[in-house]
Structure formats: structure tokens, C-alpha cells
Amino acid sequence: MSERLANLLNALALVAISIVLLFAFYAQFAEGELPCPLCLLQRAGFVLVGVGLALNVILGVKPRHYGLMILGAVAGAIAALRQVALHVVPGTGGYGDPFLGLHFYTWAFVLFSVVVFGSAIMLVLGGFATAPARKLSGLGLVAVVLFAAMALGNGVSTLAECGLGLCPDNPVSYEALDSLLGR
């Protein structure tokens, strides 16, 4: 695989991860579905995957960046699978509204599995950077900026919801923000 194609695929995948995080934000703010602790761990997994992709876009495609992506995807998949297991028993319901028939945590597990599989394919096909990193422009720049905004937004949102302590199991408000504002 050419280095140029590998860079393009990584930039497109970074945009896809940003869209996943953006969709989670939409559910959080437009539909009022505050993320539970397992949801936040899944978002952290997506952020780690995005960091690996961003490193590939910024510094050039390297095997260790795919390794970081795989670690993030496995950690996120474990959190997603745990949440699936909590809600698989009939009568326990689900957390949040389903999207296209599946809950977000089920979709997260599917996407994390795709990341692991895709990373493995990219490792097999090669296309690793041999030249020094190039200046960011075009799709790569847009992908990195969009991802940085989504990662920062998730961090701020989590801090507003949980503060520096443990997050509530079934969040109903932004506890840290409410206590800061004296509500």
C-alpha cells in the first residue's frame, strides 16, 4: 500500500471517529442522554483510537500508532461488552434510546471490532512512513482539528458531569457544574 493511500485512509478514519463522538454529543445535548460511566469509558476508547489515527496523520503512518489504536479499541470494546452484558437479561431494559435497532454500546462494540480488524489489515499491508512528517493540509488538517475539538469537548463534558470524583451510575445532571454554580 502506498504511503499516500495509507495517509488518506487514516484521515478518513479520523473523521469517522470524530463523527462517532459528535453523534454521542448530539444524544447527550439534544436528547438529554447523559453518558453513564461505561459510556464515558467507551468514549475514552474512541479518543485513544483517534489519537492513534491523528498521530498517523500528523507524524506519518507507523506500526506503534496502530498499536495504540488497538489498545484503545480493546479497552473500549471491554467497556461496551460489559454494558451489553448488563442489559442482555430480559426485563432489564437498556441505557438510552436505540439507534437503528441497537443501543449505542452495542454499536460501540461493533465499531471497536472494526477498528481492531482495520488496524490489523493496515499493519499487514504496510505503507509506513519512511520520510519525515509533512505539513498538514486539506483533509488531514480538517480531520485533526475536528478530532481535537471532539476530544476536548468530551473532556470538558465529562468534567462538568463528574467533577474530579466518581461519575454517578445513572446521571441526571451535570453534578460538578451544578455545584460550581451553586445549584
Q: How far apart are the first and last CA of the chain?
A: 56
The pTM score is 0.88
pLDDT exceeds 70 at position 96: no
98 band by pLDDT with thresholds 50, 70 and 90: low
Q: How far apart are CA 179 and CA 81, in angstroms?
A: 33
Q: What are the phi and psi torsion angles at 19 (to 5°)?
A: -65, -40
Q: Please state, for a pLDDT cut of 90, what percent of the chain lies above it.
A: 46
Are 73 and 45 contacting, i.e. CB atoms less than 8 angstroms apart? Answer: yes
**What is the per-residue DSSP string for 10-61?**
HHHHHHHHHHHHHHHHHHHHTS--PPPHHHHHHHHHHHHHHHHHHHHHHH--
Residue 134, pLDDT above cutoff 70: no
Domain 3-180 listed as CATH 3.30.720: no
Domain map (residue ranges) of the chain: 3-180
